[in-house]
Amino acid sequence: MNNYQEMWRTLGLNMEAHDQLLQVLPPTYHDVYLTQANRPQGMEYFDFVVNEIHGLRIQELQEHKKAGGKVIGAFCVFVPEEIVRAAGGICIGLCSGVEIGTAETEKVLPRNICPLIKSFMGFKLGKVCPYFESCDIVVGETTCDGKKKAFEILNDYIPVHVMETPHMKKNRDRRLWLEEVRDFARVVEKATGHTITADNLAKAVQEVNNKRRALQRLAELRKQDPAPISGKDSLLIEQIAMYDDVARFTAKVNALCDELEEKIKAGQGVFPRKTPRVIVTGTPMAIPNWKVPHIIESSGAVIVAEELCTGLRYFENEVAEDGQTKDGLLENLAARYLGINCAVFTPNTGRMDRLLQLVEDYHADGVIHCALSFCDPYAVEANRVEKTLKQHNIPLLKIETGYDQEDSGQLKTRVEAFIEMLG
Amino acid sequence: MNNYQEMWRTLGLNMEAHDQLLQVLPPTYHDVYLTQANRPQGMEYFDFVVNEIHGLRIQELQEHKKAGGKVIGAFCVFVPEEIVRAAGGICIGLCSGVEIGTAETEKVLPRNICPLIKSFMGFKLGKVCPYFESCDIVVGETTCDGKKKAFEILNDYIPVHVMETPHMKKNRDRRLWLEEVRDFARVVEKATGHTITADNLAKAVQEVNNKRRALQRLAELRKQDPAPISGKDSLLIEQIAMYDDVARFTAKVNALCDELEEKIKAGQGVFPRKTPRVIVTGTPMAIPNWKVPHIIESSGAVIVAEELCTGLRYFENEVAEDGQTKDGLLENLAARYLGINCAVFTPNTGRMDRLLQLVEDYHADGVIHCALSFCDPYAVEANRVEKTLKQHNIPLLKIETGYDQEDSGQLKTRVEAFIEMLG
């Protein structure tokens, strides 16, 4: 711990505020995670990663930087990690799921804005995030008004490169997005001082695809009844996917899947057979925002899939590996990322089709739509989800909530009533 | 009036709700507009237009439709009226500035969303807007998340064509936007059954430019001290610009300017010389949203310019008239419209430069930034405005408010304190 104190001080963290933050996490984690019954042994690694969230992984980033490497932060699943890796960089997800630095943040942002945006701004202004302070550059995008405009302010504190995600998926949008991906490659080459080649890009594509395949394998196992792993544990793994070492993470997820396959063969699961099965859809749930999943799984249901950015949207499509040239691979990347069913797109019919498919494939009894407070893209699109599911007689519960715990009791009552109706 | 009743019934309006709406407007209009001192005689026409807001103008639209013409509704200054006119159509602004149909609207939209969006959805769901009910098609855009996603829902009730406004002004965005403008021309041709030609488009460009020039002429006269016209009256004219007959409106604005020029020569104005001068900037103020301007001008200041969509952004740039071909003119149109300083763009530095220029040109003592509640693009960009104005020691008051009157007292206190500081 002493080593980390020195590291955090060197990073310029506000030590007092940071200490307070670190004291909040362990009891929450204990209550939400460590009290679960029948947890797979393979979760030990992910418990360790959370325990070392501001320790070991930050140390690895610092060692990487000492060796001349760069760290690039991102806020969105649209930022192609492959490009950063090809140039020898490390890509880190910076979205954050806890109220912090609110007083400072409300000096530069409106009070009524998405808690995820307030949170990342609070972490930066309050100097309490060692990931942020390890970044050489951060990459924004234009997936929502709040982030798009907040990045202009963030740029006062750290250099921000913004990728323009279009609003539609027409050919003209695909062309624009491909140019954005090419620009990003140039920005990363400049920041890292390394040239991206067909070879190092092909290798990076394969590594990140392997990460996706491990997560797909895990998702596939969750189609079983009884569920071999809780939704909370699965979400945690999907959250960790965004900042852990790629090769190590991939190996650990695959090892966990080996264990789960054995359990499935033995007919074992973490909840009784016939437990009501729920799919969660909506806005990202960034660490440590486990609020709604915890309510759901402590109310008698199991979450079997997350149609979220911290979930399937992150890993469900692979990048084609057949590009023979650098530009061919960049085209494959652009195509893969534009396939994401984000509510930035109008209309976002792909998400509706996907949800129906997921309900069928995962034998779900109902869907819970979770939107962060003041998130217009998802809160309005919830109406399209509602219309689609109603047409197919699939039960839906719509929730809008922030990072505070004030509405927990009310949410639990609503979730319990919904699950009772499913059972 | 009996004629109108019949017309409204034929349009399928909810007669009871519509009657209630019509009873609200006159007393408000009296208090806000008709009690102003020294009003120019030329305002009589605009008073008449407001008085006939659901009467004569709707009758004109119906006659146009009986003769085979089409009516196209729009929600944004990005929709090129010229294209509609070239094809013999009438383009009508549908943004609305009053709380209506809230109960119905909150069944399809989140409660915490911009009041302008709630209002247009309420007008449509409640069947209380004869403009909406006169439209053959409505045209949306992607200037903000709320509207972009709400148009998907609106499309359940009336056909919506969405134009994709990009997030930036790079060459790739200009290319995309030009394609959107070309698409729109095709959509309008199909809807109207009329071909757009170089000739009819050139004529439409000239007519709409003439409207802009009349509004520019009016704006120019407001640089005088004493101010020859109130900000409230100017805003009203800018609001009416979006739905009145183009040629008649242009002539009436020019006639008003003739009168104002005489008053200026005579040293006459509507407020005493040396009255504190304020520029209003932010989100659109749709009829009958005169709340903040009324507070400002009843608190001892005069508004000398509106850096708003219902203001300078609507008329400050002309379309180049030198295009010899249809496609050349479409290129000119695309270029003009992409010059708008909308907060959809990141960054929107053009707006900052423009504001500084306006403060100088209009001899303004301060700026009041008005954002509609829950409007992320403008509420967040307000921070950039604040930063820019602070660097130039220009006083700024930031307001966030909706269409209700609940905060009027509090706003008046803040505005009075601000104006006292300027005086």
Q: CB–CB of A152 and B384 under 8 A?
A: yes
**Of the candidates A153, A380, A382, which has its C-beta nearest B150's C-beta?**
A380
Res A230: pLDDT: 98
Region A83-103 average pLDDT: 95
Which residue type occupies A360? E
Res B2: pLDDT: 57
Which residue type occupies B201? L
Region A70-97 average pLDDT: 97
Pairing of strands B71-74, A396-401: unpaired
Q: CB–CB of B109 and A380 under 8 A?
A: yes
Give yes or no for residue B75 having a pLDDT over 90. yes
Distance from the Cα of A184 to chain B's closest Cα (Å) equals 15
Contact residues, chain B, for A384 at CB < 8 Å: 152-153
- Of all residues in chain A, the percent with pLDDT exceeding 90 is 98
Confidence category of residue A2, pLDDT binned at 50, 70, 90: low
**Of the candidates B164, B374, B382, which has its C-beta nearest A112's C-beta?**
B374
Rounded CA gap, B158 and B133, in Å?
A: 9
Q: What order do you get walking across the sheet with B160-163 strand by strand?
A: B90-93, B71-74, B137-141, B160-163
Res B148: pLDDT: 98
Contacts of B281 (CB under 8 A, 6+ apart): B306, B307, B308, B351, B355, B367, B368, B369, B370, B385
Give yes or no for residue A279 having a pLDDT over 80. yes
Check if B178 contacts A (Cβ < 8 Å). Answer: no
Give yes or no for residue B116 having a pLDDT over 70. yes
What does pLDDT average to over chain B?
97
Q: CB–CB of A380 and B346 under 8 A?
A: no
**pLDDT tens digits, B274-330:** 999 999 999 999 999 999 999 999 999 999 999 999 999 999 999 999 978 999 999
Nearest CA in chain A to B168: A164
Closest CA to B79 of B286, B342, B345: B342
Q: CB–CB of B144 and A145 under 8 A?
A: yes
Contact residues, chain A, for B167 at CB < 8 Å: 142, 148, 164
Check if A34 contacts B (Cβ < 8 Å). Answer: no
DSSP assignment letter at A90: E
CA B155 vs CA A262, A327, A352: distances in Å: 50, 39, 17
Give yes or no for residue B349 having a pLDDT over 80. yes
What does pLDDT average to over chain A?
97
Q: CB–CB of B153 and A374 under 8 A?
A: no
Distance from the Cα of B379 to chain A's closest Cα (Å) equals 6
Confidence category of residue A324, pLDDT binned at 50, 70, 90: confident
Region A106-111 average pLDDT: 97
Give me the sign of the Cα torsion angle A216, A220, A223, A228. negative
Nearest CA in chain A to B399: A110
Query: Between chain A and chain B, how many beta carbons pairs sit less than 8 Å apart?
Result: 123
Res A409: pLDDT: 97
Of the residues B75, B114, B149, the best mutation for testing chain A's interface (the one with the most A CB atoms within 10 Å of its CB) is B149
Contact residues, chain B, for A154 at CB < 8 Å: none
Closest CA to A52 of A99, A100, A1: A1
Check if A121 contacts B (Cβ < 8 Å). Answer: no
Answer yes or no: are the C-beta atoms of A203 and A331 closer than 8 Å: no
Check if B183 contacts A (Cβ < 8 Å). Answer: no
Check if A346 contacts B (Cβ < 8 Å). Answer: yes
**Of the candidates B109, B145, B150, which has its C-beta nearest A144's C-beta?**
B145
Check if A96 contacts B (Cβ < 8 Å). Answer: no
Distance from the Cα of A371 to chain B's closest Cα (Å) equals 11
Q: CB–CB of B164 and A166 under 8 A?
A: yes
Contact residues, chain A, for B381 at CB < 8 Å: 149, 152
Region B94-118 average pLDDT: 95
Contact residues, chain B, for A382 at CB < 8 Å: 110
Region B86-113 average pLDDT: 95
Give yes or no for residue A1 having a pLDDT over 70. no
ipTM over 0.95: yes
Q: CB–CB of B153 and A383 under 8 A?
A: yes
**Of the candidates A173, A371, A374, which has its C-beta nearest B374's C-beta?**
A374
Contacts of B57 (CB under 8 A, 6+ apart): B49, B243, B244, B245
Q: Residue B302 pairs with which residues in a beta bridge? A: B277
Rounded CA gap, B98 and B174, in Å?
A: 35
**Of the candidates A109, A168, A374, which has its C-beta nearest B112's C-beta?**
A374
Contact residues, chain B, for A172 at CB < 8 Å: 175-176, 179-180
Check if B374 contacts A (Cβ < 8 Å). Answer: yes
Check if B159 contacts A (Cβ < 8 Å). Answer: no
Answer yes or no: are the C-beta atoms of B226 and B270 closer than 8 Å: yes
Distance from the Cα of A292 to chain B's closest Cα (Å) equals 19
**pLDDT tens digits, B151-178:** 999 999 999 999 999 999 999 999 999 9
Give yes or no for residue B150 having a pLDDT over 60. yes
Confidence category of residue B95, pLDDT binned at 50, 70, 90: confident
Region A138-158 average pLDDT: 98
Of the residues A172, A177, A378, the best mutation for testing chain B's interface (the one with the most B CB atoms within 10 Å of its CB) is A172
Res A3: pLDDT: 80
Region B371-398 average pLDDT: 98
Which residue type occupies A379? A
- Which alpha helices (DSSP H) does B127-168 contain, by range? 130-134, 145-154
**Of the candidates B110, B151, B373, which has its C-beta nearest A400's C-beta?**
B110
**pLDDT tens digits, B123-137:** 999 999 999 999 999
- Of all residues in chain A, the percent with pLDDT exceeding 70 is 100
Q: CB–CB of B380 and A343 under 8 A?
A: no
Distance from the Cα of A315 to chain B's closest Cα (Å) equals 25
Region B243-248 average pLDDT: 98
Res A267: pLDDT: 97
**Of the candidates A164, A172, A379, which has its C-beta nearest B167's C-beta?**
A164
Confidence category of residue A48, pLDDT binned at 50, 70, 90: very high
Region B351-355 average pLDDT: 98
Check if B370 contacts A (Cβ < 8 Å). Answer: no
Res B378: pLDDT: 98
Check if B20 contacts A (Cβ < 8 Å). Answer: no
Distance from the Cα of A177 to chain B's closest Cα (Å) equals 9
Please provide the distance, in angstroms rounded to a whole number, between the alpha carbons at the two ends of chain A: 47
Q: What are the domain boundaries of chain A? A: 2-422
Check if B270 contacts A (Cβ < 8 Å). Answer: no
